A = this chain, B = another copy of it.
Amino acid sequence: MSIIKSNGYSVTVGNHSLKALNAFLKKKHFSSHFVICDENTLQHCLPLLITNCPILSDAEIIEMESGEQSKDLAVSAHIWQTLLEHKADSNSVIINLGGGVVSDLGGFCAAVYKRGISFINVPTSLLAMADASVGGKTAIDFGGIKNSIGLFAQPAAVFVYPTFLNSLPEKHYKNGMAEVFKIALISDKKFWDELKRGYLNFVSVEQIEKSIVLKNNSVLKDPFDKGLRKSLNFGHTIGHALEAVLLGTKTELLHGEAVVIGMLVESHIALQKKLITQKQGLEIFYVLHRFFQPKKINEKHSEKILKLIRNDKKTSANKPRFALVSGIGKCKVDVEVTETQIKKAVEFFNKSVKFNV
């Protein structure tokens, strides 16, 4: 079991982490415990959680529907209402048992309930373990913009229990691996080289840990995302815009799938701007295509994507600025990008893809 120190809290990784959670809760003497979960974690993870963490056997369970569409104001209001009905006070704690949707939403709800109560993240998906578990970002989607309402709020602690991955469907593995590849590509050539020789359907506890450590390094340098941490946004300007365009449509696209498309499009922009060589561009192209088989961006969505980028959180005074890969294991932030460059990259990406949405 290993412990990673983040911004005022610890991330405990390993198969004894739920017992560590039990000890943590005992020590903290919270006045009441709430567990937020979705229908999947309720079925597959909650029994394991309670077996290993008996102090939670009388916790109040708040169930929400799985999926990005739950990350909204109406579900937040439902959670607040439940907290009030069960007299949650300033010394209560919320345990977010789920993927990024649960921790984003549950963290947001906790951080503004009675001016902030404690919350603990117990990520159950690879994506949440490797990426969302550190960073202190909480948010919901609003007005068609992903994560447009939220704040920085640190969890009291994070417990990563890899056994939860046993119940994870394959496409959710891919979803998490996208962020693992991203953090390697922007910050650690050696790790990227290791990953590109591996198998997509296998991730080791050490690789999860490595991803958390790398992300944590960025986060600690820049807790409020003011600059140094912007490199983590590689693949996300396009990725988030694509997700937002598809929000509420019938096309289901996981965050990791969007980020893979984002990384491919943005790598082409990096190539246009000569931040990477042709050879590096090809390597990124082949590795990501081989591992993830991304799908084409529907033509009618391209225009909407451009419009949303103008309205992105990361856009300052209407000038789109990207974090772009600038070599294997390197990243350059705040690169101004023109709409023409974006369009060209999207077109290239679409031509290179064999499978249609």
Contact = CB atoms under 8 A, between A and B. Distances in A.
A315 interface: yes
A313 interface: yes
Interface residues of A, number: 37
Interface string A82-118: 0010010111000000000000000010011111100
Nearest to A317: B31
Contact of A91 (B31, B116, B143, B317): B317
Interface string A142-169: 1101011111100000000000000000
Q: How many copies does the complex hold?
A: 2
Given A143-B81, A318-B87, A137 B115 contact: yes
A315 B314 CA distance: 40
Interface string A215-259: 000000000010000000000000000000000000000000000
Nearest to A145: B84
Given A90-B316, A114-B313, 19 more contacts: A31-B317, A73-B73, A73-B77, A77-B142, A80-B148, A80-B149, A84-B142, A84-B143, A84-B145, A84-B148, A91-B316, A111-B151, A112-B112, A115-B137, A115-B139, A115-B151, A115-B152, A116-B152, A151-B151
